[in-house]
Amino acid sequence: MAEYDYDLFVIGAGSGGVRAARVSAAYGAKVAIAEEHKVGGTCVIRGCVPKKLLVYGAHFAEDLKDARKFGWKLDGEPDFDWATLRDNVLSEVERINGAYTDTLNSHDVEIFHERATVSGPNEITLASGDTKTAKYILIATGAWPHVPEFPGSEHVVTSNEVFHLEELPRRVVIAGAGYIANEFAGIFNKLGSRVTLVNRSDVILRQYDHSIRDRLLQIATTKGIEFCFHAEFESIEKQDDGSLLVKVTNHEPREADLVLVATGRVPNTDGLGLDSAGVELDEDGAIKVDEYSKTNIDSIYAVGDVTNRVQLTPVAIREGHAFADTVFNGKPTTVDYDCIPSAVFSHPPLAGVGMTESEARNTLGSIKVYQSDFRAMKNVLAERNERALYKMITDADTDRIVGLHMIGPDAPEILQAAAVAVKAGLSKSDFDNVVALHPTMAEELVLLR
């Protein structure tokens, strides 16, 4: 008789958990996974994937307008139907949910479609009351939207609900000025809603380079998105006509049909029973782990947003894979957190890798900054007065590129390729040595002065 029911029991079938389960099973481990919602987790079900599809959908508003400048005759004003976009996006989510489930099934990973909690260092209790034992437990329960407390906060939605709206709201107030706030501001603005973004400070996308942030703020304002800074939520009142009266500090009250709160995500550790196994959490409720994702309990590991290291899907996937390599393939593997590229799918999108200008200045002292501030060819013909900005930061002593930041059409697509060079430690002269690929936007990268 085996000592445990499973070699590995994973709690949470999101990006990190699914990768860990699949790869561990491929290494020969007997694996089970529990998921109380849908297989796929935040990214697939209520995050990156449906969001990106909405971004595509919203972008047609500009494309259809610009098409006329390129000779296309479109009779009358284009008509947009929210329900069609929403339902097509949700059915694509269902398809991917099925694909993830198939992957787990084909690797003989047993799936429990119910909530699971930890009830000991090697024991899991399922919502049905059954208990299971495992040599190792992996917590991959992700994070959950944080909603500040104020009177009327029950009237808000978060990124969990926003993909399911019955109707496209006419007026949207968004709380926060980070990733989700700026991405949905762009989506709703393009789809025709009046958007107001409310933030406690006057900084949007704090972790990005200031020039890129400033450019987004300027373009978004020009597109009609309103920004209320130094504003904290005071109250939301539901009015007789169903609309919401939103009161924030330092600004006039405003009416809205939807209030979306995007003020960060907190590690999903509440009620997981981690105390019963003695698993240590940090002051934000995140599970504390070492460089191999191991908690203070030898049999319990954690990966992804629940550890609050870097809240990005590809990082969770790497952590899940490294866990499987370490524990089930005898190959201790850590994740390299240096030079992780990231992007915001705002309108237009922005992306960055490495240090911002101020980080580089503070860390290295002597730096050089190269910029290209240009209007994409397509925007020129379309008479769209929207400029892209590319910015490269180098160590002045070595010429090595330490940061690359951009905003403009397809910036995330371009930056992903360029990030390989930055991560590899290439210098500005390596970029200069490459002949430009003309006419592209990306050629600006090898023509920076």
Options 101, 189, 199, 268; binder of ligand NDP; rule CB under 6 A: 199
How many residues form the binding site for ligand NDP (CB under 6 A)? 23
Residue 26 near residue 20 (C-beta atoms within 8 A): no
**Interface mask toward ligand NDP for 327-356; x: CB under 6 A:** ---------------xxxx-----------
Options 13, 109, 168, 181; binder of ligand NDP; rule CB under 6 A: 181
Q: What are phi and psi of 329, to 5 degrees?
A: -130, 10
Q: Which stretch binds ligand NDP (CB under 6 A): 55-63, 122-130, 201-209, 424-432?
A: 201-209
Q: Answer yes or no whether residue 419 interacts with ligand NDP by CB under 6 A.
A: no
Q: Are strands 123-126 and 116-120 parallel, antiparallel or unpaired?
A: antiparallel
In the numeric block, the tokens 């929207």 are attached to 386
Q: Answer yes or no whether residue 266 interacts with ligand NDP by CB under 6 A.
A: no
**Interface mask toward ligand NDP for 2-31; x: CB under 6 A:** ------------------------------
Encoded tokens for 369: 């900054």
DSSP code for 304: G
Single out the catalytic residue among 59, 113, 164, 438. Answer: 438
Options 105, 128, 201, 249; binder of ligand NDP; rule CB under 6 A: 201
CA 13 to chain centre: 17
Options 16, 169, 178, 304; binder of ligand NDP; rule CB under 6 A: 178
In the numeric block, the tokens 């005759």 are attached to 73
Tally of residues, the chain: 449
Question: What CA dihedral angle connects 410, 93, 35 and 144, to 10 degrees?
Answer: 50
> Shortest gap between Cβ of 279 and ligand NDP (angstroms)?
23
CA distances for 28 relative to 31, 124, 144, 329, angstroms = 9, 21, 32, 9
Name the residue nearer to ligand NDP (CB basis): 328 or 345: 345
Residue 327 near residue 378 (C-beta atoms within 8 A): no
Q: Which stretch binds ligand NDP (CB under 6 A): 6-14, 260-268, 352-360, 381-389?
A: 260-268
Q: Answer yes or no whether residue 203 interacts with ligand NDP by CB under 6 A.
A: yes
Residue 21 near residue 9 (C-beta atoms within 8 A): no
Q: Which stretch binds ligand NDP (CB under 6 A): 110-118, 171-179, 234-242, 332-340?
A: 171-179
Q: Answer yes or no whether residue 416 interacts with ligand NDP by CB under 6 A.
A: no
Active-site annotation holds for 438: yes
d(CA 109, CA 44): 19
3-state secondary structure of 202: coil
d(CA 32, CA 109): 5
In the numeric block, the tokens 């190959």 are attached to 331
Name the residue nearer to ligand NDP (CB basis): 59 or 265: 265
Q: Answer yes or no whether residue 231 interacts with ligand NDP by CB under 6 A.
A: no
Q: What residue ranges bind ligand NDP (CB under 6 A)?
A: 148, 176-181, 183, 199-201, 203, 206, 262-265, 311-312, 342-345
List residues with catalytic annotation: 438
